[in-house]
């Protein structure tokens, strides 16, 4: 059963401490961090609802058998090429990943001025990873910014719009 969860700044600070330190869910820590990085890089300029929607899409993909079955595998999914310098070292092919930030050629570091925002995103990711949010995207597995029109959009069911993102479900 999905639950609606509302929490204030104190709870977020507490949960941020759980995620950044040792917690009862320490084995899930890397999955939560992958989810948080995806939310941060895909939607840090969106509203809280927009960020939650991106996290829900990630989790919906994990639950869908057509995608990998872990958060990190979903986030880092995409074609790779072998390094010409070092054998058995692979890099994502630029601009071909499921989530654009992962293979855009830019550094994947949280900006120092976004430390508090990232703590909020970690707390939110913890809650979403542990199934504490109602899926208001109605099972969305894809999204894009309103100013682009990807080829795949016409083959999916539009379910939700928030900020400048349009969300879609891939029907089974």
Digit-by-digit pLDDT tens for the chain (172 residues) are 333 333 333 334 434 444 444 343 334 899 999 999 999 999 999 999 999 999 999 999 999 999 999 999 999 887 777 888 888 887 766 766 777 777 766 777 899 999 999 999 999 999 999 987 899 999 999 999 999 999 999 999 999 999 999 999 999 8
Nearest-angstrom CA–CA distance, 116 and 157: 35
pTM of the model: 0.78
Domain spans of the chain?
9-169
CB-count exposure of residue 166 (10 Å: 0-12, 13-18, 19+): buried
């Amino acid at each position: 059963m999905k639950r609606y969860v509302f929490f204030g700044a104190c709870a977020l600070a507490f949960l941020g401490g759980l995620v950044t330190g040792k917690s009862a869910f320490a084995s899930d820590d890397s999955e939560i961090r992958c989810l948080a990085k995806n939310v941060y890089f895909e939607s840090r300029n969106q509203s809280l609802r927009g960020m939650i929607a991106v996290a829900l899409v990630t989790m919906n993909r994990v639950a869908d058998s057509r995608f990998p079955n872990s958060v990190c595998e979903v986030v880092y999914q995409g074609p790779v090429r072998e390094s010409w310098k070092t054998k058995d070292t692979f890099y994502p092919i630029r601009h071909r990943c499921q989530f654009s930030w992962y293979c855009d050629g830019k550094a994947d570091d949280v900006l120092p001025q976004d430390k508090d925002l990232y703590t909020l995103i970690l707390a939110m990711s913890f809650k979403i990873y542990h199934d504490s949010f109602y899926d208001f995207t109605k099972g969305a597995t894809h999204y894009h910014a309103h100013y682009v029109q990807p080829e795949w959009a016409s083959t999916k069911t539009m379910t939700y719009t928030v900020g400048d993102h349009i969300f879609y479900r891939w029907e089974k």
